[in-house]
Amino acid sequence: MFYDTHAHLDYPDYAGDFAEVIVRARAAGISKMISIGTSLDSSERAIRLAEKFPAIYAAVGWHPSDAMKAPSDLRPALREMCKHPKVVAIGEIGLDYHRLPSQKPEFTAADDVRYKQKQADLFHQQLEVALEVKLNCVIHQRDAFDDTLAQFKPFASSIQGVFHCFGENADRMRRVLEIGSLVSFTGIVTFKNGQNVRDTVAATPLDKFMLETDCPYLAPVPYRGKRCEPAYVKEISETVARVKNCSLEELSAATCKTAQEFFPKLNG
């Protein structure tokens, strides 16, 4: 038995066969799934799925890549959604500098500054709500590790973050654990070119990480390049157990316990 702690089940990729995706997940032993919000609409859709399917829970938040589309004050709507019994976290939130506006000819460095400021403002608002409602956070960062860690740090004595889709080295993993937060690993651990992530998995204590698909992205081997779905946590868990040199039972017990503690409302 495993959980998929990070899935985008509200995406149109699943519109055609949603019920079968959930049946396949349950058949593969994936007993709980968290559908992660990337905007207010997406968060709302995640909540609707959680209401309809007992195995699905929701996280609500606004993704940094879509920061420019966010309202100036996200907090009131977010606070409301957090009251829902199946909303287990705020997320995904954070900073993403992977594609900056100035990579396109019509934008300049000043646009990059504005974009980063908007991301930071949005991240801060959502951390404030997390603190208020006492929910942990699912943190997304890409090419922005130092800034994300620095912005999260002042909140780290009160709330935990899970740095999801963790692809950084062991040293950075330790910096996350040092502030009381966690990491989670995706299908990248199964990729031929994923040795750096496997090295980080090997160095991460068994009780300090969770498993996720980040589906529909990042399908593990042998499904690489195809649409990903929660059932594939099975393939991810097999690789992680091998890297950790532990049994699937030990990995299941450790990662499910970590998830239940990190997302207390998963038990409700």
Select 5 or 190, whichever has its Cβ closest to Zn ion.
5
Mask 131-170, x = binds Zn ion (CB under 5 A)? ---------x------------------------------
Region near Zn ion per CB under 5 A, out of 9-17, 84-92, 100-108, 150-158: 84-92
Q: What is the largest CA-CA distance in the chain?
A: 53
Tokens at 265, concatenated: 């409302």
Shortest Cβ 142–Zn ion spacing (Å) = 8
127, 74 Cβ separation under 8 angstroms: no
Closest CB 214 distance from Zn ion, rounded Å = 5
Of 65-73, 76-84, 91-99, 128-136, the window that binds Zn ion (rule: CB under 5 A) is 91-99
Strand-by-strand arrangement of the 56-60 sheet: 2-7, 30-36, 56-60, 87-96, 137-142, 161-163, 182-185, 209-211
Of all residues in the shown chain, the one whose CB is closest to Zn ion is: 140
Residue ranges in 207-226 that form contacts with Zn ion under rule CB under 5 A: 214
SS3 label, residue 6: strand
Handedness of CA 221, 249, 35, 77 (dihedral sign): negative
- Give 138-181 as a 3 state SS string: EEEEECCHHHHHHHHHHHCCCCCEEECCCCCCHHHHHHHHHCCC
- Residue 244 sits in the site that holds Zn ion (CB under 5 A): no
Minimum CB distance to Zn ion, residue 250 (Å): 27
Residue closer to Zn ion (CB basis): 211 or 244: 211
CB 34 within 8 A of CB 113: no
Stretch that binds Zn ion, among 23-31, 44-52, 88-96, 100-108 (CB under 5 A): 88-96
| Residues within the interface to Zn ion (CB under 5 A) | 92, 140, 214
